[in-house]
């Protein structure tokens, strides 16, 4: 393989390329998944579309793999350079080029941090809804690449709903503009939608045109505590059945509650086996009535405590309890796998029962919380043993495989928002037939015939026979 690092340094300037041997490269060889770091030859820190195109051209010429990278907050190993080569980072492409209140759009570079964009548009009375919990540091390009979701997806949908147009660098150096600026349009195949969620395997996003909404004037939040997940599930079904469309419906199980109990300002009753956090937004005059009705539904389905936040401080306290779950699990255990299966909403209670069964049968402690409104459940599998011991990992992977199989058996899906990357790649055949996988391989080959752009992700190796 050519010494690609030095070739890129000559083109981009030495300060824009981190070469092997420089300890700063370590940061580009890992993400937030439990996967081990993967070594690469160099990281190219691109500042412009032209620089992205140059890297893609030179890497194609020299047959070097390239792995796009945003902020590295991914949970599936998606930005890990599994075949070495070059990590192409867009973290320095942070311009918000335009916010147009008239057209209700923003045009941004991919390295803009999600929270930064949200703050900037809110200052102008506008709203960018997708809210991954990592929004303080993840990038908007990474959100589009992974089609990120978050709690507000129940009402507002996921990132794909907000991406109107993209500029993309293709392997070989061609730069393509797809999509549009207007909020409506059906011309041609929807290539934009195809790039969204392709996890950096089709092209490198260098600019995004995003749809915005008017900022909702007010929000109201309620926490309800239940003796069982089944009661909580029935309350959720009832309130949705009433026609109320909360922006958030979050659910957490007993294990999650027990983990946050010692640190929470809200004192959970001992009999709490499930909590539901509901948030509505819109016109301030109607929110009080909506919260009252949601409270009635929770009451009618056996809530043992209901707490409606009366001011921003109380709202923050309720959200704090929800946001503490993941860090509390991480601190309490030596090792944690966090999965994000999604099941039809009617199957949530059954999925939670199945996770309890898997935990009891395998001896792997679990905790489940997530976005109950859309059935997206964060199933956490923990271990207090040494993860370097192969038997420990085998036990966790066995339990994890059962979780995936059960989600699919309930007509759900492997991932609701984190993507497939490396971590879930080999589970794809659980959900998709070999023929569906084969069509996706052809699609990938159309953009990247030499399999150089983020190779080894999403699609498992071909099986010998191709059957339905």
Ligand X SMILES: Cc1cc2nc3c(=O)[nH]c(=O)nc-3n(C[C@H](O)[C@H](O)[C@H](O)COP(=O)(O)OP(=O)(O)OC[C@H]3O[C@@H](n4cnc5c(N)ncnc54)[C@H](O)[C@@H]3O)c2cc1C
Site string for ligand X, 27-46 (x = CB under 6 A): ----xx--------------
418 binds ligand X (CB under 6 A): yes
Distance set, CA 255 to CA 70, 260, 366, 403 (Å) = 33, 9, 7, 17
* Candidate ranges 74-82, 98-106, 173-181, 231-239; the one touching ligand X (CB under 6 A): 74-82
CB closer to ligand X, 362 vs 440? 440
The vertex-208 CA angle with 377 and 217, nearest 5°, equals 65
Helix (H, G, I), strand (E, B) or coil at 143: helix
* Candidate ranges 132-140, 220-228, 241-249, 344-352; the one touching ligand X (CB under 6 A): 132-140
Tell me how far, at minimum, the Cβ of 75 lies from ligand X, in Å: 5
| 47, 60, 69, 247: residue in contact with ligand X (rule CB under 6 A) | 69
**CA 149 – CA 129 distance, rounded (Å):** 9
Query: Dihedral of the CA atoms 409, 410, 412, 418 (nearest 10)?
Result: -80
CB closer to ligand X, 118 vs 290? 118
Q: Is 157 exposed, middle or buried (0-12, 13-18, 19+ CB in 10 A)?
A: middle
Site string for ligand X, 271-300 (x = CB under 6 A): ------------------------------
Q: Alpha helices, DSSP H only, in 123-190?
A: 140-146, 153-156
Helix (H, G, I), strand (E, B) or coil at 237: helix
* Binders in 228-267 for ligand X, by CB under 6 A: none
Total length of the chain: 468
110 binds ligand X (CB under 6 A): yes
* Candidate ranges 134-142, 177-185, 248-256, 386-394; the one touching ligand X (CB under 6 A): 134-142
Question: How many Å from the N-terminal Cα to the C-terminal Cα in the chain?
Answer: 39
**CA 46 – CA 259 distance, rounded (Å):** 42
Tell me how far, at minimum, the Cβ of 144 lies from ligand X, in Å: 7
Tell me how far, at minimum, the Cβ of 150 lies from ligand X, in Å: 4
| 49, 56, 60, 68: residue in contact with ligand X (rule CB under 6 A) | 68
Tell me how far, at minimum, the Cβ of 345 lies from ligand X, in Å: 18
Tell me how far, at minimum, the Cβ of 275 lies from ligand X, in Å: 18
On the CB side of 382, CA atoms within 13 Å amount to: 19
CB closer to ligand X, 149 vs 233? 149
**CA 235 – CA 226 distance, rounded (Å):** 10
**CA 406 – CA 23 distance, rounded (Å):** 42
CB closer to ligand X, 205 vs 393? 205
CB closer to ligand X, 69 vs 354? 69
CB closer to ligand X, 235 vs 414? 414
Tell me how far, at minimum, the Cβ of 3 lies from ligand X, in Å: 23
Which residue has the closest beta carbon to ligand X?
A: 142
Site string for ligand X, 81-100 (x = CB under 6 A): ---------x----------
The closest of 396, 271, 264 to 327, measured between CA atoms, is 264
Number of residues that bind ligand X (CB under 6 A): 36
65 binds ligand X (CB under 6 A): no
The vertex-371 CA angle with 367 and 375, nearest 5°, equals 95
Tell me how far, at minimum, the Cβ of 374 lies from ligand X, in Å: 12
**CA 324 – CA 384 distance, rounded (Å):** 20
CB closer to ligand X, 76 vs 290? 76
* Binders in 148-207 for ligand X, by CB under 6 A: 148-150, 199-200, 204-205
CB closer to ligand X, 8 vs 204? 204
CB-based contact 1:61 (threshold 8 Å)? no
Tell me how far, at minimum, the Cβ of 376 lies from ligand X, in Å: 9
CB closer to ligand X, 146 vs 383? 146
* Candidate ranges 66-74, 282-290, 302-310, 342-350; the one touching ligand X (CB under 6 A): 66-74
Helix, strand, coil share (%) of the chain residues, nearest 5: 40, 20, 40
Backbone phi, psi, residue 49, to 5°: -60, -40
Burial 345-378 (b: 16+ CB within 10 A, else e): bebbbbbbebbbebbeebebbbbbbbbbbbbbbb
**CA 388 – CA 393 distance, rounded (Å):** 8
CB closer to ligand X, 225 vs 321? 321
| 28, 35, 44, 72: residue in contact with ligand X (rule CB under 6 A) | 72
Could you tell me the two tokens for 212? 């915005």
Residues lying near ligand X in the complex (CB under 6 A) are found at 31-32, 67-75, 78-79, 90, 110, 132-134, 138-139, 141-143, 145-146, 148-150, 199-200, 204-205, 417-418, 421, 454
């Amino acid at each position: 393989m050519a010494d690609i690092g030095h070739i890129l340094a000559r083109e981009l300037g030495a300060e824009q390329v981190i070469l092997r041997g420089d300890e700063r490269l370590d940061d580009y060889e890992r993400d937030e998944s439990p996967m081990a770091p993967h070594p690469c030859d160099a990281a190219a820190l691109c500042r412009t579309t032209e620089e992205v195109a140059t890297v893609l051209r030179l890497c194609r010429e020299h047959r070097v793999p390239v792995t796009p990278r945003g902020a590295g907050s991914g949970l599936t190993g998606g930005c890990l350079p599994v075949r070495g080569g070059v990590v192409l980072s867009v973290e320095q492409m942070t311009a918000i080029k335009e916010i147009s209140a008239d057209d209700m759009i923003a045009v941004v570079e991919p390295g803009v941090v999600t929270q930064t964009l949200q703050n900037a548009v809110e200052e102008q009375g506008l709203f960018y809804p997708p809210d991954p919990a990592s929004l303080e540091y993840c990038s908007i390009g990474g959100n589009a690449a992974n089609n990120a979701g978050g709690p507000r997806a129940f009402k507002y949908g996921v990132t794909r709903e907000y991406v109107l147009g993209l500029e993309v660098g293709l392997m070989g150096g061609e730069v393509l503009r797809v999509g549009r600026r207007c909020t409506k349009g059906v011309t041609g195949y929807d290539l934009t939608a195809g790039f969204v969620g392709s996890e950096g395997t089709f092209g490198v996003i260098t600019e995004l045109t995003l749809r915005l909404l008017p900022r909702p004037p007010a929000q109201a939040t309620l926490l309800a505590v239940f003796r069982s997940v089944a009661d909580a599930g029935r309350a959720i079904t009832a309130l949705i059945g009433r026609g109320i469309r909360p922006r958030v419906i979050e659910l957490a199980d007993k294990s999650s509650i027990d983990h946050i109990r010692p640190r929470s300002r809200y004192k959970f009753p001992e009999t709490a086996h499930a909590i539901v956090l509901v948030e509505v937004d819109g016109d301030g005059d109607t929110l009080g009535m909506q919260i009252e009705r949601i409270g009635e539904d929770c009451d009618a389905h056996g809530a043992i405590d209901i707490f409606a936040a009366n001011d921003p401080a109380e709202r923050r306290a309720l959200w704090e309890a929800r946001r503490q779950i993941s860090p509390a699990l991480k601190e309490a255990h030596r090792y944690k796998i966090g999965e994000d299966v999604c099941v039809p909403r009617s199957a949530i209670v059954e999925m939670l029962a199945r996770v309890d069964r898997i935990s009891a049968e395998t001896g792997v402690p679990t905790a489940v919380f997530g976005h109950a409104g859309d059935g997206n459940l964060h199933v956490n599998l923990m271990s207090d043993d040494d993860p370097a011991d192969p038997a420990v990992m085998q036990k966790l992977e066995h339990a994890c495989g059962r979780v995936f199989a059960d989600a699919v058996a309930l007509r759900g899906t492997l991932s609701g928002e984190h993507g497939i990357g490396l971590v879930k790649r080999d589970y794809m055949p659980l959900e998709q037939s070999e023929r569906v996988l084969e069509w996706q391989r052809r699609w990938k080959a159309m953009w990247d015939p030499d399999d150089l752009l983020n190779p080894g992700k999403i699609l498992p190796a071909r099986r010998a026979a191709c059957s339905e």
